[in-house]
């Protein structure tokens, strides 16, 4: 299978490295320092404590990528609309598109209850660019449970986790699931094959934790174990999670765990840096639209009061403005 990876950050390097190790043909779409590093030095990945290196084809020309059988989209979610406009030459009607991003994906309302079913998410997908470039019947949704980080352009370290949930966004795309799942299973990932309803549930459950831990870690600059050790901050996070659980129920994604259950899961991971804290330290804009601002907007649309979420969203909005990102 010919595979292209767009977005060679931590997740992209990990997945590309594992696919290369499994003998797949992988092409990388990159720019700047990452492109130069991949072209001159290859892809470096430390996996399970072992340093590995793979020569890899890398380009900034979308036409040189394809056509491809599988397109992996692994940047931060805010980069997807621009990629939708750029990657057309790599895609045919036979290409399966697989976004692997945190937060609410652009396809999420395809399976939502009324009155939101089928509506667009303009904060996630301005002007419907993703939906136009990548028809739902070519898209597989995903939820990744893994942690990795970048040490330098083209060099990544996998920390923990090999979980990947996959599922079709619409029934017409169901036949794409099996071949893609088999590719990732051969690369050593633990793949769960999901229906759309199950996949939406997994998306919301992961978001339920990320919606608080990621922004709060960026605000404070500390790891999640330190966050949750403070009783006041822990209660604040729990209050936001209660609101997010009520929102999830209204969206057809009920949460049965308590916030304390989820905190226990987070604490079991130890002193790790969230992806948002890593972005902050690298001077990159934060993935707030998909993780926080769109959930807040969905609550407003449904008439749900979420004052704790509002407070966090407003704080991060001003925080990003202060860093020179986001609307004035």
The pLDDT score that the predictor gives to residue 118 is 85
pLDDT in tens, 204-243: 999 999 999 999 999 999 999 999 999 999 999 999 999 9
Rounded Cα distance, 308 and 246, in Å: 13
Q: Please give the class, per CATH, of domain 200-322.
A: mainly alpha
The predicted pLDDT at position 304 comes to 97
Residue 59: which H helix or E strand, with range? Answer: strand 57-59
> Residue 297: what pLDDT?
97
Share of the chain above pLDDT 90, in %: 95
The pLDDT tens digits for 90-132 are: 999 999 999 999 999 999 999 899 889 889 999 999 999 999 9
Residue limits of CATH 3.40.50.720 in the chain:
2-194
What are the pLDDT digits (tens) for 279-291? 999 999 999 999 9
pLDDT in tens, 71-91: 999 999 999 999 999 999 999
Q: CA triplet 129, 250, 215: central angle to 5 degrees?
A: 65
- What counts of helices (H) and strands (E) characterise the chain? 13, 10
Which tens digit of pLDDT belongs to each residue from 178-211?
999 999 999 999 999 999 999 999 999 999 999 9
Q: Is the pLDDT of residue 137 over 60?
A: yes
- CATH number of this structure's domain 2-194: 3.40.50.720
Residue-level pLDDT at 190: 98
**d(Cα 286, Cα 293) in Å, to the nearest integer?**
12
Rounded to 5 degrees, what are φ and ψ at 97? -105, 125
Structure tokens at 260: 């304390």
Q: In whole angstroms, give the CA distance from residue 125 to residue 111.
A: 17
Q: Can you give the pLDDT at residue 88?
A: 94
pLDDT of residue 269: 87
In this structure, what token pair is assigned to residue 20? Answer: 């290369």
Instruction: Name the residues annotated as catalytic.
Output: 206
Average pLDDT, the chain: 95
Residues of the chain with CATH 1.10.1040.10: 200-322
The tokens describing 162, both together, are 């090999």
pLDDT at 328 over 60: no
In sequence order, the β-bridge partners of residue 51 are 46
**What pLDDT score does 272 carry?**
86
Let me know how long the chain is. Answer: 328
22-39 as b/e: b if 16+ CB within 10 A: eebebbbbbeeebbebbb
Tokens of 157: 């370290």
3-state secondary structure of 231: helix
pTM of this structure: 0.95
């Amino acid at each position: 299978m010919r595979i292209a990876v767009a977005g060679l950050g931590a997740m992209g390097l990990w997945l590309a490295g594992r696919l290369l190790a499994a003998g797949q043909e992988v092409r990388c779409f990159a720019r700047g320092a990452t492109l130069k590093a991949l072209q001159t030095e290859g892809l470096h990945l430390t996996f399970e404590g072992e340093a590995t290196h793979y020569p890899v084809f890398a380009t900034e020309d979308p036409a040189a990528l394809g056509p491809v059988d599988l397109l992996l989209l692994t940047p931060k979610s805010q980069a997807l609309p621009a990629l939708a406009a750029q990657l057309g030459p790599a895609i045919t009607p036979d290409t399966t598109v697989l976004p692997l991003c945190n937060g609410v994906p652009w396809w999420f309302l395809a399976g939502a209850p009324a009155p939101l079913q089928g509506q667009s998410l303009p904060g996630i997908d301005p002007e419907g660019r993703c939906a136009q470039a990548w028809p739902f019947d070519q898209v597989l949704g995903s939820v990744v449970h893994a942690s990795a980080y970048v040490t330098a352009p083209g060099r990544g370290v996998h920390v923990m986790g090999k979980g990947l949930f996959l599922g079709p966004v619409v029934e017409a795309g169901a036949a794409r699931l099996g071949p893609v799942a088999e590719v990732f299973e051969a690369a050593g990932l633990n793949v769960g094959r999901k229906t759309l309803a199950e996949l939406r549930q997994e998306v919301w459950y992961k978001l339920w934790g990320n919606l608080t831990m990621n922004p709060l870690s960026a605000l404070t600059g500390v790891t999640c174990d330190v966050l949750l050790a403070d009783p006041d901050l822990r209660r604040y996070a729990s209050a936001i999670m209660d609101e997010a659980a009520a929102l999830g129920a209204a969206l057809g994604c009920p949460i049965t765990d308590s916030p304390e259950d989820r905190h226990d899961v987070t604490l079991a991971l130890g002193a790790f840096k969230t992806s948002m804290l890593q972005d902050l330290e690298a001077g990159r804009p934060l993935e707030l639209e998909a993780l926080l601002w769109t959930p807040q907007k969905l609550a407003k649309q449904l008439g749900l009061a979420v004052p704790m979420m509002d407070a966090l969203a407003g704080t991060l909005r001003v925080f990003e403005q202060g860093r020179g990102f986001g609307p004035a």
